[in-house]
Amino acid sequence: MKKPLDPVSGLHHVTVFALDAQKNIDFYAGVLGLRLVKKTINFDGPDVYHLYFGDNLGNPGTIITFFPYAGLVRGRKGKGQLTVTSFAIPIASIDYWLGRLKRFNVNHQPPQERMNGEVFIYLEDWDGTGLELVAHSHSVGMGHPSGPVPSEHQIRGFFGVTLEEDGYERTAAFLSAHLNYHLIAEQGNRFRFAPAHRSREFVDVLCAPEALRGLSGSGIVHHLAFAIKDDASQVALREQLTNTGLEVTPVLDRKYFHSIYFKEPGGVLFEVATSDLGFTVDEQPDELGMHLQLPDWQEPKRSKIEQILKPVFVNLAHFQD
């Protein structure tokens, strides 16, 4: 079986359904202090925004993105879904974040401990999206120098994600055989997988056969994307996957990366996205997220698209510490 020239290296992004674009920006750029690195459209539905949040440049492993659909019914987290997206914060920042979440009336739970003594805060955004802030000693990254959160407390990218499944065996075998993720720890019904030589960007598989199956809607993750180096490695991985009988999309041009999509054995939609393009292909680093960016094939329709989309803004004054 042909192997990718370079295997999957970790997480790339998580994409979620939301309800209101402006409230989404206020939460992720305002409350959480991430940078809005790209304001574009859903390439498969140009009447809907696609908003990208991440570190200062939107590096792979820091990006959470949203499709905000007005009027969308709230979904239900459950089996067959990515139910929690976990961000890394500096190890001494738990008290800071508890105060910040309380200040902005964010639904959250008291700090909890998990495997290896890691301390985390579970919270939900306005749509009920499951999130965690995990105190992590290797919490290093670019952060957002102009964000509302002090640099010493800023989110430093993904700690990992949690997939809720009937069982872990088939997903475990798939992660190991094709995506360069291997079992490194387990606790109760939680099984943790990591890419080689990485101390974060984990994939936790939570065995929950008794749980209800998840329902799509606002607050629900649409897909999880893994990072791969370039087109050649992606094409080789696609060949490897299709040779097993898996249904994989053709390579799709997402402007900021190239993508393939497929479902893992537990039903979660996976993407593998290239890491060699990035968000500065159409904006300078100091202007990321400031203007509506369209794929080339939609530029002739810009005027019509701008009339459909309700204007949104990043206003951080209310969220500054």
What is the H or E stretch that residue 265 is in? none
> Residue 54: inside a domain, yes or no?
yes
| pLDDT confidence of residue 3 | 55
| Cβ-proximal residues to 203 (8 Å cutoff; 6+ apart), any chain | 11, 160, 161, 163, 175, 181, 192, 193, 194
| pLDDT confidence of residue 6 | 79
Residue entry with tokens 């659909």:
69
Which is nearest to 35 in space by CA: 139, 135, 157? 157
| pLDDT confidence of residue 1 | 46
> Strand order in 158-165's β-sheet?
112-113, 119-124, 130-135, 81-89, 158-165, 202-207, 190-195, 181-187
> Residue 216: inside a domain, yes or no?
yes
CATH code (residue 222): 3.10.180.10
> Residue 2: inside a domain, yes or no?
no
| pLDDT confidence of residue 140 | 54
> Residue 1: inside a domain, yes or no?
no
| pLDDT confidence of residue 200 | 87
Domain count across the chain: 1
pTM as predicted = 0.96
* Owning domain of residue 218: 10-319
> Strand order in 221-228's β-sheet?
35-42, 45-54, 63-68, 10-18, 221-228, 269-274, 258-263, 252-253
Ordered per-residue pLDDT tens for the chain, 321 residues: 455 567 999 999 999 999 999 999 999 999 999 999 999 999 988 899 999 999 999 999 999 999 999 999 999 999 999 999 999 999 999 999 999 999 999 999 999 999 988 999 999 999 999 999 999 876 556 678 889 999 999 999 999 999 999 988 999 999 999 999 999 999 999 999 999 877 889 999 999 999 999 999 999 999 999 999 999 999 999 999 999 999 999 999 999 999 999 999 999 999 999 999 999 999 999 999 999 999 999 999 999 999 999 999 999 999 998
| pLDDT confidence of residue 196 | 83
> Residue 88: inside a domain, yes or no?
yes
> Residue 205: inside a domain, yes or no?
yes
Measure the CA–CA gap between 47 and 306, rounded to whole angstroms: 9
| Cβ-proximal residues to 80 (8 Å cutoff; 6+ apart), any chain | 164, 165, 213, 214, 266, 267, 268
Orientation of helix 169-178 relative to helix 231-242, angle to 10°: 140
| pLDDT confidence of residue 224 | 98
Measure the CA–CA gap between 109 and 120, rounded to whole angstroms: 9
> Residue 5: inside a domain, yes or no?
no
- Write b or e for each residue in 237-276: b if 16 or more Cβ atoms lie within 10 A of its Cβ, otherwise e: bbebbeeeeeebeeeeebbbbbbbbbebbbebbbbbbbbe
Q: Are 220 and 16 within 8 A, CB to CB?
A: yes
Which is nearest to 220 in space by CA: 109, 124, 83? 83
